[in-house]
Structure 1
């Protein structure tokens, strides 16, 4: 363990990474906060540049920190750490991690299950969908150009470490990529409140892309034209719609069920 005090420049950099999308993109770095998420980063194939810990966290977890051999660790007073964190009750540990550039071809495996996100701007929803897709064994995530930055600290926190488990590709021109995938015989399955067909009746086996749009606007008309199937989640209750992260989980695990129990001919 290499324990040091951060410079003023490094403190400024951490604050910028927490607050500024353009700064994150320009430097190819993002923040991960919390012990569990930090350990997920350290155990992944992402490059962890350094850790920042509060003095009280270090006092409680000194033996744990000693395990992080060859990782530079900066110690700061709790009051300073709290100014760097955007959480209400920070644990006292964060990591600065280098981004990875995933290629689209990395998720085109046999019988892929890809999740495509169109115009979803809520960080918690994006993060939860990434976590759910990870749990469902999805091949990867395509985040369209209108989506919130996936390296936003709130998104990263909501993934609970799943951002390190599967490729997440952002800034995707979804109509173009979905058209290409349809030419590869992938089924483009779009959820839409106005659909007539239930997702129970859709064949979600084989190469599939599940497309989810924002609650406010739904999936764009351009993507609807490309879709193989447009489906809805039956809602016998009085609610008009579902949170997109909840809807995504429902349809994803129907795909899991069908892939474990083949769709009847």
Structure 2
């Protein structure tokens, strides 16, 4: 049992929690909590850390099955591992997922359904990114494309916000977003930019074909260069003095409108 916060493994986990660079170099991320850890495929779990208190629960037995590397730690040490205020006593180091643009853009081919992509430019709030993935899974999004300036998808705050969707949603970071948008156009995927200059309200457009929504930075929106590559600008009508929505909320409005249209088409 690990009983010291100066233990090398404790320091390693702390580095993975705090540093994106360490996560990239080690090709691992940290997932915490009973629900999240129970959804991770067992073959992707590198190490499972269990608190002394959690080890005595009935839930622990099921989670331990088929996991090769398990470390038991004191409750006090587990608090130092945890990135939450009320740790549940279960934490996993997980092998990262890697997808290509071809896999993300072509993910819909496996289901035979039209593509529904979210293209994110410099989304910096981890909570927003995680919520977009979670809502995206619920709306039937087939993949997420992000520029290099978007928050690290393996940030623990993102992981918590996804509620497991990060394990199932294909995603890719791209170095050159504009070249990527050109490639999506070549694939006949229509690009819609959420933009204040949109002539049509979002619910007047047709999203039943191959579709990608472009979502910009929380403070500044899409850059002019990226917005210019869209086939169509759409706006979300506002009442009162509100000019725009939070990036995750705007994304959800658009994604679920696409989902509604596709349900009605059946």
Please give the residue correspondences for 1:138-217 in structure 2 after superposition, counting only pairs within 5 Å: 138-217=141-220
TM-score normalised according to structure 1 size: 0.91
Aligned Cα root-mean-square deviation (Å): 1.9
- Are 1:91 and 2:88 matched, yes or no? yes
CA distance in 2, matches of 1:145, 1:31: 21
In the alignment, what sits opposite 1:76?
A: 73
In the alignment, what sits opposite 1:115?
A: 118
Aligned length: 258
Shift of 1:57: 1.3
In structure 1, list runs of 5 or more residues that go unmatched.
none
Structure 1, residues 128-153: CA drift from partner, whole Å, max 9, x if none?
A: 00001111111111111111100000
SS at match of 1:102: coil
CA distance in 1, matches of 2:36, 2:240: 37
CA distance in 2, matches of 1:254, 1:66: 37
CA distance in 1, matches of 2:175, 2:142: 16
In the alignment, what sits opposite 2:129?
A: 126
In the alignment, what sits opposite 2:19?
A: 20
TM-score normalised according to structure 2 size: 0.91
Task: Give the conservation status (yes or no) of the 8 Å contact 2:54–2:60.
Answer: no
In the alignment, what sits opposite 1:55?
A: 52
CA distance in 1, matches of 2:145, 2:63: 37
- Are 1:229 and 2:229 matched, yes or no? no
In the alignment, what sits opposite 2:8?
A: 9
CA change 1:195–1:11 in 2 (3 A) is same
Task: Give the conservation status (yes or no) of the 8 Å contact 1:58–1:65.
Answer: no
Task: Give the conservation status (yes or no) of the 8 Å contact 2:137–2:169.
Answer: yes
SS at match of 2:30: strand
In structure 2, list runs of 5 or more residues that go unmatched.
none
